[in-house]
Structures are given as C-alpha cells and as structure tokens.
Amino acid sequence: MPLILFESLMRITNGLITLVCFPLLYKLYQKTTRRFFLYWGLGFLLYGVNIMLRVIAPEIIVSRLTLFIFFLTTSGFIFIVTGIGELINKTRIILSATLILPTILLIQYVFGGDWQYFIWFIVLSPYVFIVISLVSINLIYHYDLKMLIVGWFSVLILNVAYAFEMMNPGFVDLLSAVAKILIYWGMTQPNFVFIVDDLNSFMLGGVATEYHELMKGQFTLVNLQNTTKEKEIAWIKDRINSNSRKGIRTIMISYYELISPDDIFIHEDSDDIYFVRVQLGSHRIGKVFEAKVMTIKDDLSQLNLLFSDIMKASTEAQVSSELILYSLSTIIHTHGWKRLYSLMTAMIPLIKNSSVNLTGFYHPKSHETPAEILKFETLADNVIQQ
C-alpha cells in the first residue's frame, strides 16, 4: 500500500471516529442531562470536521482556509474546556483562564508577531491545558479520570510527535483514533459522573398527598444531647414520611455507616429517600440497589460537589427537597471545624436561594470545646432539641 494512501486512510479513520463521538455523547447527554457530555460532543464534532476537511481538501485550499480551521480548532477546544469546568461547577473560571493566552498571541500576530509560533500554540496548547486540568481535578476532587488522562496525554504526545516530524502522520492518526476510543470509554464508566443520573428521576418521582408550596431553603440543626439511636432513627423516619406526603424529596447522607439503609428500611421499590454513604478511603461498598443508594469518598470537596448537584437537580425539577446530614459532629471530628465551617459559610447563601433544606445532626457532648459547635448554631436558621 502506497504511503500516501495509508496516511489518507488513517486520517479518514481518525476523523470518522472523532465525528462518531458526537452522536454517542449526545445520547449520553439526553440520558443524563449532564451538559458535560453535550459540550464534549460538540468539541469532538468540530475537531472531526477539522480532520475531515484536511482529508478532502488539497493543501492549497487548506492554506486559504486557515482562519476557518483556526475557528474550528478554537471552538472545539472551548467546548471541551467548558465541559471540564462543568465537572467541578467552575465553568466560568476555567473558561476564562483558557482565553487569556490565545488573546495575547492573537494580538501579537495582528501587530506583527510570528504566525508560525501562533500555529504551534494553537496545535499543542489545548491538549496541554486539558491534560493539566484533568490531572488537577483527579488530585483535588478525587474523580476517577485515569482513562481520560491517559487518552488525552496520548493525543498530546502524538501531536508533539507529528509537529516535530518524529512519527509518520498515518501512525499518528491511527493511534489518535485509538486514544479517542479510550477517552470515550472512560466517559462511559459508572464512576465517572459524580452523581448518578437517576437523581434527576428521583426528584421527579414524588407524588404529594398534602398541599405544599415550593419552600425556601434553610439550614437546620438537630441537637442530640438527650436521645438514643432508636429515637434518632424514628425522627428521621417520621421526617421522611412527612416529606413524602408533601412531595418533598429526601436525600440522606450518612457518615461511616452510623445509619444504614436497613436502619430506615429502604427497599428496592422505595421512592421516599435517596441514600448516600460516605466511606473512608477509596473503598466502595456495593450498592444495595442501583437507583437509590450510592457511595462517595470521605472528602469535603466531594461533599461540596454533592450539595451543588442536589441543589441543581432540585432547581431544575422545581421541587422542594431536604438534605439530612448524619452527622455534623462526625465531620468536625474527622476534618476539623474550620474546614467544615468554611464550606458551610459558602454553601448556606446558595441553600437559602434554593428550595433545599439542609438538616444536620450533632452531638454537643462529643465536642471537647463547646465554642466549636456554637459557631455552627449561629449559622443555623433554627435548632431542634431532641
């Protein structure tokens, strides 16, 4: 097979696989309503068009379409970066960071800069930024992004090899296609999306038997100074039943299995509560049933993201919900009051502008320094004595 034919076939293969990612990711977006998949799908679509354009058009035509190719490449990069921001609810910050260097280099070119260096930047910097962003999210937020990191790092190395003529273009396209398959595979893994898509279905599943208007979010503390475990569980059950009658969705976050799904009699066809286990380390406990119980790592960054996802799902569904946290004292003992207090002071304004109630249990006698828990009591809209 002539070398030029091999290179053309591999480029077509790379382009087609890149284009196919768009309908596949769009289906994931329709299923999960996660905008991440939509943004990355659009990014892959533009990259695929870019690749196919270089297949079907002679070099002289491609040179005349430099600005159009620049637009495709930049737009695709922006969509993918926007998707990365969606993962951690920091879309604007990450997107703004990516626009600084292209703007500087574009100004440099307009005022007489070297076009060749600008092209090098356009070709390579998006992949560098994507890899750095994914690695940072993996380290800070503990997402399982290993396959995505390997895939994008492979694409980066292959583009460097192509830019410096260290590898035949045909093999670059072939291995790039394999890397993109790996990236797509990584996005379809169950532990990739932080909160499973059935949370949205759960929000829409309640049927009220009592009239209840969309409530205004607030922060409530439940003082467990003079109580027993049985009374605490009974209180939670009553709360769940009361919420269910009003169409309020209940999400319970239980630390270290202090309260288990069995304690409150969650069963597979239960539609009254969504249960989140928090466990130490990266160990994942098998789900009691896929749709109503999930497990996350004991990390305040993940807890913050979970809060954000719950408020987002509640707002989009236009339903009231209550987030029960058991227990606030456990988090303080594990992570220290300062870190939790910082998280809560940032989260409470968002809660009060939502239709989500946050109810936290605490054991005042378990704290050696009463001032620690007093700080949280001053944040609360009300304190319930048990």
Amino acid identity for residue 338 in this structure: K
Residues 174, 56: Cα–Cα separation, whole Å = 18
Q: Is residue 190 pLDDT above 80, yes or no?
A: no
Q: Is residue 94 pLDDT above 80, yes or no?
A: no
Residue 183: its H or E element:
helix 169-187
Percent of the chain with pLDDT over 70: 76
Phi, psi torsion values for 270, nearest 5 degrees: -70, 135
User: Could you tell me the pLDDT band of residue 189, with boundaries at 50, 70 and 90?
Assistant: low
Residue 148: its H or E element:
helix 146-163
Q: Is residue 254 pLDDT above 90, yes or no?
A: yes
pTM over 0.75: no
User: Could you tell me the pLDDT band of residue 58, with boundaries at 50, 70 and 90?
Assistant: low
Nearest one of 224, 221, 241, 196 to 32, comparing CA atoms: 196
Question: Highest mean pLDDT: which of 49-58, 100-109, 156-165, 307-316?
Answer: 156-165
* pLDDT value at residue 4: 81
Question: Contact, 316 vs 310, CB < 8 A?
Answer: no
Full strand arrangement of the beta sheet holding 356-362: 293-297, 273-279, 249-255, 321-326, 356-362, 219-223, 382-385
Structure-token pair, residue 203:
């929000």
Query: Exposed, middle or buried, 385 (CB in 10 Å: 0-12/13-18/19+)?
Result: exposed
Question: Contact, 18 vs 180, CB < 8 A?
Answer: yes
* pLDDT value at residue 247: 85
The crossing angle, in degrees rounded to 10, of helices 66-87 and 115-141 is: 10
- Radius of gyration, alpha carbons of the chain: 25
pLDDT tens per residue, range 132-183: 888 887 777 666 688 899 999 999 999 888 888 889 989 999 999 999 999 9
Amino acid identity for residue 373 in this structure: I
| Of 355 and 283, more confident | 355
User: Could you tell me the pLDDT band of residue 341, with boundaries at 50, 70 and 90?
Assistant: very high
Q: Is residue 219 pLDDT above 90, yes or no?
A: yes
CA dihedral 216, 244, 226, 383 (to 10 degrees): 0
Question: Contact, 255 vs 335, CB < 8 A?
Answer: no
User: In 3-state terms, what secondary structure has residue 208?
Assistant: coil
- Cα distances from 82 to residues 15, 20, 44, 168, 270, in angstroms, run 22, 20, 13, 32, 36
Q: Is residue 73 pLDDT above 80, yes or no?
A: no
12 contact partners, CB below 8 Å, separation of at least 6: 52, 55
Q: Is residue 262 pLDDT above 80, yes or no?
A: yes
Ranking 58-62, 197-201, 247-251 by mean pLDDT, the lowest is 58-62
